[in-house]
Amino acid sequence: MPDTWNSSDKFNREALQWDDNPGRKALALSVAQAIVTATKPNNTMLALEFGCGTGLVTMEIAPLVKSLTAIDTSSEMLSVIKEKIKIAGISNVETLHTNLALPSDNLGIEKSFDLIYCSMTLHHIDDTAGFLKRISNLLSPGGIIAFADLDLENGQFHDDPLEKVHHGFDRGELAAQLKAAGLLPNSFETIYTMVKPDRSMEPANYTVFLVTAIKQDDLHCQ
Ligand SMILES: C[S@@+](CC[C@H](N)C(=O)[O-])C[C@H]1O[C@@H](n2cnc3c(N)ncnc32)[C@H](O)[C@@H]1O
pLDDT tens string 178-215: 999 999 999 999 999 999 888 788 889 999 999 999 99
Closest Cα to atom 12 of ligand 1: 51
Q: How far is the CA of 218 from the centre of ligand 1 (A)?
A: 30
| Domain membership flag for residue 35 | yes
| Cβ of 85 less than 6 Å from ligand 1 | no
| Domain membership flag for residue 1 | no
| Domain membership flag for residue 222 | no
Q: Quote the pLDDT of residue 1.
A: 40
| Domain membership flag for residue 191 | yes
Mutate which of 30, 59, 117, 121 for ligand 1? The one with the most ligand atoms within 8 Å of its CB, which is 121
Q: Quote the pLDDT of residue 82.
A: 98
Give the structural domain span for 179: 8-215
| Domain membership flag for residue 3 | no
Measured N-to-C along each axis, helices 171-180 and 128-138 cross at an angle, to the nearest 10 degrees, of: 50
Q: Residues 6 or more apart from 71 whose CB is under 8 A from it?
A: 48, 49, 50, 51, 52, 95, 96, 97, 98, 100
Q: What is the pLDDT of residues 7-63, one digit of tens each?
A: 889 999 999 999 999 999 999 999 999 999 999 999 999 999 999 999 999 999 999
219, pLDDT greater than 60? no
**Nearest of 15, 147, 132 to residue 72 by alpha carbon:** 15
- Mean pLDDT computed over every residue of the chain: 92
Q: How far is the CA of 96 from the centre of ligand 1 (A)?
A: 12
Q: How far is the CA of 80 from the centre of ligand 1 (A)?
A: 13
| Cβ of 50 less than 6 Å from ligand 1 | yes
| Domain membership flag for residue 115 | yes
Residue 70's domain is classified under what CATH number?
3.40.50.150
| Cβ of 144 less than 6 Å from ligand 1 | no
Kindly give the number of the ligand 1 atom that is closest to the alpha carbon of 71: 21
Cα 168 → chain centroid: 13
Q: How far is the CA of 54 from the centre of ligand 1 (A)?
A: 9
Q: How many domains does the chain have?
A: 1
Q: Are 52 and 95 in contact (CB under 8 A)?
A: yes
| Domain membership flag for residue 84 | yes
| Domain membership flag for residue 76 | yes
